[in-house]
Amino acid sequence: MYVAVKGGEAAINAAHRLLADRRRGERSLPSVTIDQIVEQLALAVDRVMAEASLYDRALAALAVRQSRGDLIEAIFLLRAYRTTLPRFGTSVPVDTARMAIERRISATYKDLPGGQVLGPTFDYTHRLLDPSLLRQDDVEEPARKEPLPGTMTRVSDILAGEGLIEEDGSLPDDRPAGDLTREPMEFPMGRDLRLQALARGDEGFLLALGYSTQRGFGRNHPFVGEIRIGEVEVEMEVPELGFAVSLGRIQVTECQMVNQFKGSAKAPPQFTRGYGLVFGQSERKAMSMSLVDRALRAEELGEDVTAPAQDEEFVISHADNVQATGFVEHLKLPHYVDFQAELALVRKMRSDIEAAKSEVAGAEANSAEQ
């Protein structure tokens, strides 16, 4: 039950003024700029873009700054901003095979066309705090080398040649891709809608679910077929021009998980696949997404649905951190009247029990006297 509560206005204004002060912090220090956040906290910015489901580095950085680095708050801000804008259209599907590669690795093939390219990775660092970063030291320019010619073949295309791996997921041609931002959620949903939900899902939640499949709750025997990070071209059909124009490039991370599969009543023994695609550089998220995508295909592949990660309604309904934070955090709003009602109820139950006890005690005393 909600009842309007008045009288907080002055306190709220003062609280927001205090928030602005604490956000600015010590005034003798320089204020952090949006460009600095974009350049130097790039992966925080990427996470905000991915989970807000809105690609715009400058706006995501503004949100990070406004939220004092609280990334879920930043995601909330960016989601709210997107609702103020009209939609001009839908892009031509991005072609990740033609990505300008910044990183590409495979755990299934050592020598694959284009090779293993590490890019700017935390892997193989020693995870020791680096005191040199306490100073503003000049950083070496990156090493350079002659690039290999040609595009990098997708690992899934290599295995597909032998017919040992399932193809890219198809849906009926006449079925347009579903859009969670336009239609209410209904279960069961198609893989297209699930992937949209997972792409904007909370990284921590998907990481935990992916981990749970590895620990035996819906095990699906994964191998990283390929992870690639880089820029892809975004094109949109423009009716006035009559052709697709380039809008520019965005950075994405793609993960092709390859899963051993012993076959079932519905499918022969072969490698099945889970897919992850995320805005920005976000390898952990793309990997988690592909593990969960595969787990959620249990029913389609005729596997027993026994674990949380395989339960579509459970996973998709709880993956969105803006929805989750809204419902959890609403508990701190005034519930004075609800609580008064509960209090009266508990008092009544208590007094009923007390009354019943004294009745029993009275009856016992009576029978003892006789």
Q: Are 78 and 65 in contact (CB under 8 A)?
A: no
Examine residue 315 and tell whether it contacts other proteins (CB under 8 A).
no
Q: Are 244 and 112 in contact (CB under 8 A)?
A: no
- What is the closest distance, in whole angstroms, from the C-beta atom of residue 330 to other proteins in the complex? 26
**H or E segment at 292?**
helix 283-295
CA distance 237 to 214: 42
Q: Residue 83 gets which letter from DSSP?
A: T
Contact with other proteins (CB under 8 A) among 9, 146, 162, 174: 146
Q: Write out the DSSP string of 181-225.
A: TTS---SS--HHHHHHHHHTS-HHHHHHHHHHHHTTTT---EEEE
Contact with other proteins (CB under 8 A) among 28, 242, 369, 370: 242
Stretch that binds other proteins, among 32-40, 207-215, 245-253, 360-368 (CB under 8 A): 245-253
Nearer to other proteins, 19 or 171 (CB): 171
Examine residue 145 and tell whether it contacts other proteins (CB under 8 A).
yes
Which residues in the 15-54 window bind other proteins by CB under 8 A?
49-50, 53-54
- What is the closest distance, in whole angstroms, from the C-beta atom of residue 52 to other proteins in the complex? 8
CA distance 302 to 268: 11
Nearer to other proteins, 110 or 332 (CB): 110
The torsion of the CA quartet 332, 337, 340, 346, rounded to 10 degrees, works out to -80
Nearer to other proteins, 44 or 49 (CB): 49
Pattern 99-128, other proteins, x by CB under 8 A: -xxxx------xx---xxxxxx--------
Examine residue 179 and tell whether it contacts other proteins (CB under 8 A).
yes
Nearer to other proteins, 243 or 327 (CB): 243
Other beta carbons within 10 angstroms of residue 18's beta carbon come to: 10
Q: What strands, in cross-sheet order, belong to the sheet with 243-259? A: 100-105, 222-238, 243-259, 272-279
Residues 6+ away with beta carbon under 8 Å from 188: 299, 312
Nearer to other proteins, 46 or 212 (CB): 46
CA distances in angstroms from 255 to 104, 204, 338, 363, listed in the order given: 10, 17, 47, 74
Stretch that binds other proteins, among 17-25, 32-40, 162-170, 205-213 (CB under 8 A): 162-170
Contact with other proteins (CB under 8 A) among 279, 288, 307, 320: 279
Contact with other proteins (CB under 8 A) among 35, 237, 313, 338: 237
Bin 229: left if φ > 0, else alpha if -120 < ψ < 50, else beta: beta
Query: How far is CA 26 from its chain centroid?
Result: 33
- What is the closest distance, in whole angstroms, from the C-beta atom of residue 295 to other proteins in the complex? 16
Helix, strand, or coil (residue 286): helix
Which residues in the 336-355 window bind other proteins by CB under 8 A?
none
Contact with other proteins (CB under 8 A) among 44, 59, 112, 206: 59
Nearer to other proteins, 88 or 327 (CB): 88
- What is the closest distance, in whole angstroms, from the C-beta atom of residue 35 to other proteins in the complex? 14
Task: Enter the tokens of residue 194.
Answer: 């699930």
Which residues in the 247-276 window bind other proteins by CB under 8 A?
247-250, 252, 254, 256, 273, 275
Nearer to other proteins, 123 or 137 (CB): 123
Among candidate residues 200, 182, 190, the one with its CA nearest the CA of residue 83: 182
Residues binding other proteins: number (CB under 8 A):
82
Which residues in the 68-97 window bind other proteins by CB under 8 A?
82, 85-94, 96-97
